[in-house]
Amino acid sequence: MYKYLFGPVPSRRLGMSLGVDLVPEINKYLAVLEDEKKIETIRQERGVFYQICGR
């Protein structure tokens, strides 16, 4: 039914809660920033990092 919500999932602090998958939305936002040359993607063995351009 919902694309980015799932659950209920166990939560240590709240007991049960809904899970939210924001990865697709964050990836869209990062792609726009990279296209506009506002950030630079740095890929390393331990992961992918983003650096603000011009700094």
Task: Write the DSSP symbol of residue 34.
Answer: H
Please count the helices (runs of H) and the strands (runs of E) in the chain.
1, 4
One-letter identity of residue 39:
I
* Domain ranges for the chain: 5-52
**What pTM does this model have?**
0.57
What are 9-49's pLDDT values in tens digits?
888 887 888 777 777 788 888 999 999 999 999 999 988 88
